[in-house]
Amino acid sequence: MADIPDGELYPVPQRLLDPAQCPEPYISSLQQYKELYQQSIEQPDEFFGKLATDLLTWSKPFNRVRHGGFKYGDVAWFLDGRINASYNCVDRHAIENPKKVAIIYESDEPNQSENITYGQLLRDVCQLAGVLRAKGIRKGDTVAIYMPMIPEAVTAILACARIGALHSVVFAGFSAEALRDRVQDAQSRLVLTADQGRRGGKTIEIKKIVDEALKSCPMVETVLVCERTGADVPMTPGRDHWWSQEVSRTPTYLPPEEMHSEDPLFLLYTSGSTGKPKGVLHTTGGFLLGAAATVKYVFDYHPGDIFACMADVGWITGHTYIVYGPLALGATTVLFESIPTYPTPSRYWELIAKHKITQFYTAPTAIRALRRLGDEWVEGHDLSSLRVLGSVGEPINPEAWHWYNDKVGKGRCAIVDTYWQTETGSHIVTPLPGAIPTKAGSATLPFFGIELAILDPVTGKELTGNSVSGVLAVKRPWPSIARSIYGNHQRFLETYLRPYSGYYFTGDGASRDKDGYIWVGGRVDDVINVSGHRLSTAEIESALIVHHAVAETAVIGANDEVTGQCIHAFVCLKPGLASGHSRAFANDLTKELALQVRKVIGPFAAPKRIYLVEDLPKTRSGKLMRRILRKIVAGEADSLGDISTLADPSVVEALIAKVKSAA
Ligand code: 6R9
């Protein structure tokens, strides 16, 4: 069995518990957390019934809190309740305080930030919702959103929610082909986009990518183009319309559609073990509750706080922690269009000082990259407004944790290492700022209502007690768990609920240490996590195999100091091309192959290394042994284990030589 990690316990910073310095945390002791957690498990109906009534506004109250389970995959929450997510995120705050700032838009260029009030947001959302209606979009339709990080992206999401259309946001770093696949899979008839994007001082040709993607999407009838840069982009008559023109002739109020709690709110594509990304489906009441409850308790959000999540709205973190969670609570949320190093590596810290940010949420890859650039970039900025620093997307290594805690938090902030997934909707394992002592690198303890299990990966038997390692699973449904995969419930069952009957399977390995703290190790399936972006090996292999020179490929994840993992691709060429080629030929081909991956998936999926090889390690039955490739790349060729099952063990020597010569 693997070693169980452990680490020193860090108490809650005293400052957070001092009423003279900070608002009193909602949960302010470990004991209080334990009691509430116990209640959430033993009396879930009371616990979540009350939470849902306290945090959300229902147009018709629910009459049953929970239904269904993992056995049949028929999970439902807040039955018969009626609710609209855009009403909860906008109207109710606009009514109470229309001048309150909902969104601080920090533009790519630092001197161009802009505030959008709840009153303005309500008008914007209503107008766009009206345009969607006028273009024939109805409750239950899907709308694709392919946009840069501008306020209109938030408007787009909420306008869909307002009329009961499912949004399908596609991260604007995805290629035309990836966008095409997602539009086709969801059968979206309308696409919301922009002329161009700006990021790190560079221009991104958003509309061009959309045009390319839509060449094979005949179902798309309408494209609305938001003017981000005002560039002169080609418009297809009849199909493409300028956003500003359309909204300007639409009324500023449109009543929200009354939705059932279990009506779908959105789908979001994510990578799994196969080549085909799946549209993870979330429903309305449960998702919104998970988002609101975790912003309140995990970030200890208090009225007046300025909440800043640095993710892109194209990922789940952006959905839950830029848009739905903070806005459901009536918070001010920061929308950051740029990158941490533009124009200088002080950008984050300037942002925090400028807007007096209280909660700051980013990914370990950004923390590692900034740490490497040197402390001078973070020194000298007024970071005193900060109370909670969040981390998400991958395990945070202790070095990065300490740097974040010491240099950014100055030892006065809570660090919350939040473990969750697209499928979980909101945090499931995480510290609570005022209550749970932390350990550098551990996501600590389960959130309310989350009953964790560590399973023996082979037998599926639950490993009880402390000091155990296995795969991480959850024993019962919680409100924000995904309900299905769009158009393929069977695949949902097979991916998450069937591997270990009676459990939700996360796909991650984890340990519970001697104090009961959870340490998430990383994926146990063929998912690679590059800079917190989820990719499947099969997805990258399918992209490479399309190239005319490629006979076969094997893709693996290797460790990387900055990005967590990086992609190494082994490529066998077609007969005739395989051997005796020149170095120049190999160089050109490698470049072409990298380009191929960028084209099929997106730039963020490009392999760091591509090896042109003669053969791959396979068993006699033809099964590819990725384990061997992983070991070779990790420089552990001396501990390959049993290779006698290989059809041709001599392949290994050639691979070792190849990897060495490329290093
Ligand atoms: C929110 C998000 C999910 C996968 C997940 C796991 C990894 C996320 C983590 C973490 C260790 C954390 N992951 N947070 N691993 N500690 N705090 O990232 O969603 O894109 O679906 O990725 O990310 O491997 O299974 P998603």
Write out the two tokens for 480: 């924000």
Whether 496 and 468 have beta carbons less than 8 Å apart is answered as no
Task: Report whether pLDDT(16) > 90.
Answer: yes
Q: How far is the CA of 317 from the centre of ligand 1 (A)?
A: 10
Pocket test for ligand 1, best of 169, 269, 417, 520 (most atoms within 8 A of CB): 520
> In angstroms, what is the span from residue 332 Cα to ligand 1's centroid?
25
CA of 526 to the centre of ligand 1 (A): 14
pLDDT in tens, 321-374: 999 999 999 999 999 999 999 999 999 999 999 999 999 999 999 999 999 999
Q: Please give the pLDDT value at position 109.
A: 97
Output the pLDDT for position 579.
65
Phi, psi of 495 (to 5 degrees): -75, -40
The pTM score is: 0.94
Ramachandran sector of residue 65 (left: φ over 0; alpha: ψ -120 to 50; beta: rest): alpha
Comparing CA positions, the residue from 334, 337, 377, 335 lying closest to residue 357 is 334
Rounded (10°) CA dihedral 416, 417, 418, 422: 140
Instruction: Kindly state the tokens that stand for 97.
Output: 């305080």
Cβ neighbours of residue 19 closer than 8 Å, sequence gap 6 or more: none
Q: Is the pLDDT of residue 114 over 60?
A: yes
What pLDDT is stored for residue 1 in this prediction? Answer: 46
> What are the DSSP calls for 564-617, one per residue?
EEEEEEEEEEPTTTSSS--HHHHHHHHHHHHHHHHHHT-GGG--SEEEEES---
Give me the pLDDT at residue 538, please: 87
User: What percent of the chain clears pLDDT 70, i.e. is strictly above it?
Assistant: 99
Residue 101, classed as helix, strand or coil, is strand
ipTM of this model? Answer: 0.99
User: 195 CA distance to ligand 1 centroid (A)?
Assistant: 32
User: Per-residue pLDDT for 563 more than 60?
Assistant: yes
Ligand 1 centroid distance, CA of 373 (Å): 25
pLDDT in tens, 268-286: 999 877 768 899 999 999 9
Report the residue count for the chain: 663
The partner residues of 83 in beta bridges, in order of sequence, read: 259
Calculate the average pLDDT of the chain: 95
In 449-503, the DSSP E strands lie at: 452-455, 468-474, 484-485
Nearest by Cα to 221 from 143, 155, 129, 300: 143
| Confidence (pLDDT) at 380 | 96
Atom of ligand 1 nearest to the CA of 422: 21
The pLDDT score that the predictor gives to residue 663 is 79
Listed residue (327, 289, 287, 297) closest to 309, CA to CA:
327
| Cα-to-chain-centroid distance, residue 39 | 29
> What is the distance in A from the centroid of ligand 1 to the CA of 421?
5
**Which residue shows structure tokens 């694709």?**
144
pLDDT in tens, 189-248: 999 999 999 999 999 999 999 999 999 999 999 999 999 999 999 999 999 999 999 999
Give the tens place of pLDDT for each residue, 292-306: 999 999 999 999 999
Minimal-distance CA residue to ligand 1 atom 8: 393
Give start and end residues of each alpha helix (H) in 356-440: 364-373, 398-403
pLDDT score, position 2: 57
CA distances from 211 to 187, 270, 354 (A): 16, 23, 38
In the structure, what pLDDT confidence band is assigned to residue 580 with cuts at 50, 70 and 90? low
What distances in angstroms separate CA 467 from CA 33, 449, 475, 629, one per listed residue? 22, 22, 19, 30
Summarised one tens digit per residue, pLDDT across range 61-87 is 999 999 999 999 999 999 999 999 999
The confidence score (pLDDT) of residue 627 equals: 86
Q: What is the arithmetic mean of pLDDT over 401-407? A: 98
Q: Please give the angle made by the CA atoms of 541, 544 and 548, to the nearest 5 degrees.
A: 140
Nearest of 210, 232, 233 to residue 223 by alpha carbon = 210
Quote the CA–CA distance of 535 and 271 in Å, as a whole number.
5
- Which of 392, 404, 474, 518 for mutating ligand 1's site (highest number of atoms within 8 Å of CB)? 392
**316: Cβ below 6 Å to ligand 1?**
yes
Task: Give the C-alpha separation, 28 to 13, whole Å.
Answer: 11
For residue 562, which amino acid is it?
V
pLDDT band at 43 (very low <50, low <70, confident <90, very high): very high
For residues 646-656, average pLDDT = 89
Q: pLDDT per residue over 18-35, tens digit each?
A: 999 999 999 999 999 999
> What's phi and psi for 591, nearest 5 deg?
-60, -45
Residue 465, pLDDT above cutoff 80: yes
